[in-house]
Amino acid sequence: MARLELVAGDITREAVDAIVNAANESLLGGGGVDGAIHRAGGPEILAECRTLGGCATGDAKATTAGRLEARWVIHTVGPVWVGGGAGEDDLLASCHRRSIEVAAEVGARSIAFPAISTGVYGFPKERAAPIALGSAREAAADHPTVDLVRFVLFSDTDLRLWRGALERSDPP
């Protein structure tokens, strides 16, 4: 069973095998986590992204990680929140499932996620947290080579919110 950890911090500093990027469908860069990852990792990541032909919402694709401590960046595209009736929950779950599948494919044993879709994409955090935690936990159970799943929250407030969601969620 994978260890599930919640921390506050900057995901670009994480020394795990793979960090997840909250990308957009073009994979050609954006703001938020995406901008931070490309800035910290250097141009190599974008050069690889250009060869991938974009990524559908809910899917994930890996590149190497340039200057980052991680070995891989797994780019996933979260749903834009448009009110909750357009499959946003399922797409958010799919991001976590696909990211862990891709991590297993490249041989990453540890993976760190940001709070996908909860920035510019506007997904309510209280609703995103249990979906992210539940889908990541399920996917990790299906891919036992992935033994550490860490969520890196960008503020102490977010960390508290996610801790609350974890406490309320089903025990493993």
Candidate list 10, 17, 34, 156, residue with the active-site label: 34
Shorter beta-carbon distance to ligand ADP: residue 18 or 145: 18
**Binding positions for ligand ADP, rule: CB under 6 A:** 10-12, 22, 32-34, 36, 78, 114-121, 152, 154
Least distance from C-beta 106 to ligand ADP, angstroms?
A: 21
Shorter beta-carbon distance to ligand ADP: residue 25 or 147: 25
Least distance from C-beta 77 to ligand ADP, angstroms?
A: 8
User: By the 8 A CB rule, do 29 and 75 touch?
Assistant: no
- Could you give the CA distance from residue 172 to residue 169 in angstroms, rounded to a whole number? 9
- Could you give the CA distance from residue 128 to residue 115 in angstroms, rounded to a whole number? 8
Shorter beta-carbon distance to ligand ADP: residue 66 or 78: 78
Least distance from C-beta 105 to ligand ADP, angstroms?
A: 22
* Helix pair 88-106, 125-142: axis angle to 10 deg: 40
Residue 132 token pair: 């992210």
Specify whether 158 is catalytic. Answer: no
Q: Pairing between strand 148-153 and 3-8?
A: parallel
Catalytic residue numbers? 34
